[in-house]
A and B are shown apart, each in its own frame.
Chain A
Amino acid sequence: MQILNWLFRRRDEEQNVRVQAKDRMRKMLIHDRLELPPDSLVSLEEELIAVVCRYFEIDRDTTRFDLQQYERKAALVANFPLLRSKT
C-alpha cells in the first residue's frame, strides 16, 4: 500500500513540473504582452470588489478574479457570486 502511495505521489509531482511551467509561462506572457505592473491587478481587484459591494452583498470566498488567454489576447475574467441586492 505504501508503495502504491509513493508511486502515485511521485507521478503527481512529476506531472506538476510540466503543468507548473505551462501555468507560469501563461501568466508571465499575459503580463509581458500587456506590459502590466505586477501589483496593478491587486488594486484593480480591490476597487472592483468595492464597486460591486455598493450594490450587492457578495460571497467573498468564491469570488474569482483571473486573467485568461484567448489566442494572443488576454481577457479579464471576474466572477462575483451575488448573495442579495443592497438597493
Chain B
Amino acid sequence: MSGRVVVVTSGKGGVGKTTASANIGLALAASGPSVALVDMDIGLRNLDILMGLENRVVYNLIDVVEEKCKLRQALVKDKRLPNLCLLPAAQTRDKTAINADQMKVLTTELKSMFDYVVIDSPAGIESGFQNAIAGAEEAIVICTPEMSAVRDADRVIGLLEARKEEISQYRLIINRIRPAMVKSNDMMSVDDVLEILSVKLLGVVPEDDDVIVSTNKGEPLSGSSDNQKAGQAYRNIAKRLHGDEVPFLDLDSLNPTWFSKVVKFFNPAAMRV
C-alpha cells in the first residue's frame, strides 16, 4: 500500500488547522479509506482532545522516533471507526525532538499502512512547520478571510511552491466565513481571497458555533450527518480530497433571508460563496 501524505498548514495560529485535520480525517475514514492522523504540534498537543481520545494516549510520535516503542503501539485507535488512528504529539517535549529526515522515515512507514496520512502542522514557518511538511506530498492551506491570516497563508504558499518536487499540489480551505458580513461588505469574500492568493480552492467552511461544542464533546462535526454547516463543509472537503466532484456549499441557503431568496432567484451564481 502507498497512501497519500497530506499536511494541513496555515502559517497563522488559531485559524482552524487542528479542527480541519480532525474533521477531514474522520470524514475520510467514514467513507472507507484507512486514515492516520498525525499531530505534529510537538509540545502543544491538541488533536487528541478534538478526537476525544486524550485518555487513550500511551506513547507518542517522539517515542516512536526515539525507538522507545513500535509505531503500532503509539497509534491510538479511534473509538468510532476501526480504520482511523491517531499518532499523538509529545506534550512534554519541543520541536527540536524530531528532524526532517526522521519525519520522512515516519511518513514512509505510515503510508505503507494507511490510505491517507493527514498531518496537523503547528503554526509558524520555522522548524516545526518544516518538519511537518518534510514527508508530505500534498498540502492543505487553511486561512480565514482576515488580512493577517491571508498574508500568512501567502507566505506558506510561497514556501510550499519552493518545494514543488516534493509537494505536488496545495489547495486552500477558507474557514470561518460569515456570509452576512460578506454580504454587507464588511468581510472579504471567498472570491476576494482566491483572487489575491491565486490558488485552487478545496473548500469553504462557514462560521459555526457547533465547532466549539464538538470540541468540548470530543466528537468532530463531520462524524454525523446532523450538522449541515461546518460538518457538511468538511464532509464535502474530504470527498474533494478523495477526488470526487462536489459543488461548493451555498452558504446563503443556511440562513436564507427574503432578500437572498430574491437575489438567488434572479442570479443563482451571484450568491454562491
Contact = CB atoms under 8 A, between A and B. Distances in A.
B185 A25 contact: no
A17 B187 CA distance: 7
A71 B155 contact: no
Interface in B113-146: none
Contacts of A33: 154, 158
Chain A interface size, as a band, is 10 to 19
Given A24-B147, A25-B147, A26-B196, A32 B154 contact: yes
Interface of B: 147, 150-151, 154-155, 157-158, 161, 182, 184-189, 192, 195-198
Given A25-B196, A33-B154, A18 B189 contact: yes
A21 interface: yes
A25 B184 contact: no
Main secondary structure of the interface of A (DSSP, over half): helix
Main secondary structure of the interface of B (DSSP, over half): helix
- Counting chain B CB atoms within 10 Å of each CB, the highest count among A17, A22, A33 belongs to A22
- Counting chain B CB atoms within 10 Å of each CB, the highest count among A14, A18, A19, A72 belongs to A18
Interface in A11-63: 14-19, 21-22, 24-26, 28-29, 32-33
Contacts of B184: 14
B196 A29 contact: yes
Contact of A18 (B157, B186, B195, B197): B186
